[in-house]
Chain A
Amino acid sequence: MSDSDKPLHTLVEELPESSMTTRLLGLLDYAVPGEWQNITNFEAMVKNVTGEDDQSLIQSVGERAIQLYNDPSNGYQRAVWIYQMLDDTQGIFGMAALGNKLSGDFDFLSFLGDITPKADTAQAVDAGVKLVGELTAFCLVNGMPGDSIGDFAAAFGNAQKEDAMRLAAFLAFDCVLPLGPDFLLKLSDGISSLSDSVLGSNGRFARIASLLPTPDLESSKALITQNFDATKGVLDKFASEKGIEQSSVFGKIKGILGAADDKLDYVAAGIDLVSNHFEHTGIQSVARRVISRAYGEI
């Protein structure tokens, strides 16, 4: 499914203005108010990042950003590829039941009848893999900013704009909703109980494993554990400060999707299949960072 080698402006402008993903992200505005605007026009993104309105300057910044993105050695294309893989549902059970993932008006309730929720362990593994993907993409895009782990944690924890929305969506839809208030504990348990067979059979993990700097599953598991330990404080603080709780998230979802009962695991599994929150906000994040760099370099 990956088309991360398309030109940057094309990736931005092919994002939907309205879709199930944008509706789901929109309901998290309560947690990260005003941080995310669904910018799907490249010129608008350049203007948003720079605040400039001189067209020749906008052209220069935009062109340099596109050129920076075009060079695979800059890492931006691989970051977008990871974001796309994290939302890729290929081979995931239940996908066959899904007609059109991008359609904004399909019947979510009847769709839920066709899917099977994941066991807690599988959900924890899935969330762990997504966290590793997010951190890997972050490093591909931004490098390792600063001189210490503290600087890195500050950079990651200072999520704004699309980054903040993606972190909120990850915590809400991939962690809190399916795993509940003690999601960090379940994540930790899930990760520590990982076996090669579980990890090796996780479709997403198998696909992004090729990008991890680890030679085998055992060291990949160690990497997931380290990443989790380094960022769980940031995740916990973000979720509690932003009011991302199971009841508040489910309340919002009920309003938009019409889910009537409290089958949270079904709803979480359904959202996993219909939402492209990593890819959508990931492309916007990469565009913002590359444009900001281009503006600094021209």
Chain B
Amino acid sequence: MKLFTLLMGVGAFAVLLTGCGKEPSRWDQAATQTVSAAAAPKVEGAKLNAFFPADGTDGMSRVFSQEKDGFVEAKLKKDGQDVATLSISDASADEGVKSKFASASDKVGDHPLVTVGKNQSAVLVANKYQVKVSSQTLDPDARKALLSKFDLAGLSKP
């Protein structure tokens, strides 16, 4: 019993010590890392713009929102409200990203289609580009329909 009390005391002291410093968090490990594929050559963002669905698709306006090397994002908006976020990213050097398509049971054209979480659908084009539609309002069928509005054939050409 004495040993137990002693151990409890040591434990409490350790908790106290931790409290004096910064509390550990679930994000600490990532804080010491950068994206491992970052060193790999990435396609220039501007070269991906042409493959997005056209402005006015399904009566929605398309506003480009981010353009970085290897990543381009646009919003589809209706009456000023976001309907969906569209993106194309260069996943050529990211096997972890591409591996999720191995078990895909659906396709858009020839391209494997998966859902991610509850709000995202993604296709992999030419084993290189990941094309995604994310939306907190559209269902998987509607997201799949939007994916088919990208110029996936054009994107798959080398």
Interface centre among A42, A59, A68, A298 (most CB of B within 10 A): A298
Query: Is A135 interfacial (CB 8 A cutoff)?
Result: no
- How far does the alpha carbon of A214 sit from the alpha carbon of B73 in the complex, in Å? 29
What's the least CB distance linking B60 to chain A, in Å? 13
A58-79 interface code vs B (CB 8 A; 1 in, 0 out): 0100111011101101100000
Range for the number of chain B residues in contact with chain A: 35 or more
Query: Is B14 interfacial (CB 8 A cutoff)?
Result: no
B72-116 interface code vs A (CB 8 A; 1 in, 0 out): 111101000010010101010010010000000000000000001
User: Which of A42, A53, A142 has a CB less than 8 Å from the CB of B65?
Assistant: A142
What's the least CB distance linking A138 to chain B, in Å? 11
Asked whether B82 lies within 8 Å of A160 as measured between CB atoms, the reply is yes
Query: Is B25 interfacial (CB 8 A cutoff)?
Result: yes
Taking CB as reference atom, which chain A residue is nearest B35?
A67
Chain A residues, Cβ within 8 Å of B30: 7, 62-64, 66-67
**Pair count A-B, CB < 8 A:** 118
Query: Is A107 interfacial (CB 8 A cutoff)?
Result: no
- How far does the alpha carbon of A129 sit from the alpha carbon of B46 in the complex, in Å? 29
Asked whether B63 lies within 8 Å of A155 as measured between CB atoms, the reply is yes
- How far does the alpha carbon of A20 sit from the alpha carbon of B134 in the complex, in Å? 36
A262-296 interface code vs B (CB 8 A; 1 in, 0 out): 00000000000000000000000000010011011
Chain B residues, Cβ within 8 Å of A155: 63-65
Chain B residues, Cβ within 8 Å of A295: 120, 134
User: Which of A9, A70, A296 has a CB less than 8 Å from the CB of B134?
Assistant: A296
Asked whether B85 lies within 8 Å of A292 as measured between CB atoms, the reply is yes
Taking CB as reference atom, which chain B residue is nearest A13?
B25
Query: Is B57 interfacial (CB 8 A cutoff)?
Result: no
What's the least CB distance linking B78 to chain A, in Å? 13
User: Which of A64, A145, A154 has a CB less than 8 Å from the CB of B35?
Assistant: A64
- Shortest Cβ-Cβ A-B pairs, 8 listed: A296-B87, A145-B64, A7-B31, A143-B67, A63-B30, A51-B136, A146-B64, A66-B30
Interface residues of B (CB under 8 A from A): 25-35, 38, 45-46, 49, 63-68, 71-75, 77, 82, 85, 87, 89, 91, 94, 97, 116-120, 130, 132, 134, 136
Other 10 A-B pairs with CB < 8 A, given A59-B26, A293-B71: A7-B27, A7-B30, A50-B119, A54-B118, A145-B67, A296-B71, A296-B132, A297-B71, A297-B130, A298-B116
